[in-house]
Structure 1
Amino acid sequence: MSVLLAQDVDVTTDLGVYLPLVAMFVLALAFAIFSALLGPLVGPSRYNRAKFEAYECGIEPSPQPIVGGGRVPVAYYLTAMLFILFDIEMVFLYPFAVSADALGLFGLVEIFLFIATVGFAYAYVWRRGGLDWN
């Protein structure tokens, strides 16, 4: 059994492997900050009434109630967000399906716990009326 001593480990070569990754993160951060700071300086600053109005799917909002409609109710957005949330959670099932044999019993228990958690969340939202359109 060998023991690693401090002189046996070369830290510079081990950390050198991560240098391109760190450089990419620094470059992405610099670009994000540069874009956020430069946008208001270079972009047009003509404000009019239309820019301050609410935007709803290309329909021009009006103060008069529209027959058979009007503004989109908040329930529509909540249902859309719930659909996206549960859809993304279900995407996590694909890696399990691909590597189910390699994970064995541990993977089976973990995926059962994951499905149970998603099921409880779904039942909670359903019981609270989050999926009702009325």
Structure 2
Amino acid sequence: MGKAIKTIFLCNYLHYEEIRREIHEGLNTVEHWNSVNNYIFYGKNSEIRSNSLEDQEVSALSLQLLQNCLVYINTLMVQEVLFDNNQYLLKKMTPEDFRGLTPLFYNHVNPYGIFKLNMDQRIPIKLKVS
């Protein structure tokens, strides 16, 4: 039964372009997410090398926290750009533009630098409430 299901899927995959496009887009998203993870989790070649379950858990949770922070800040930055100037850019966007929006960019991140944190001051991102 499993081989028949695989054969049907392959036939549909080869016949319908929209299925191929959807799978390709999903694979691109996963590959992009993996490249982001490799960049922000750069220590020890982005590998968890400890045999200790506790160390593995701390590493995995640290990566998850970094991912969440990156996506959150990037989302706020994209919103600030799109909603600036009376939503001019937002009105010009096409459905293809919206499909291309992603919070998975990291060229503004410096993982090797020294960071001075001031926990009494917020990041200067404007929040507009409608």
Please report the TM-score for the alignment, with normalisation by the length of structure 2: 0.26
* Higher-RCO chain (CA-CA 8 Å, sequence separation at least 6): 2
Please report the TM-score for the alignment, with normalisation by the length of structure 1: 0.25
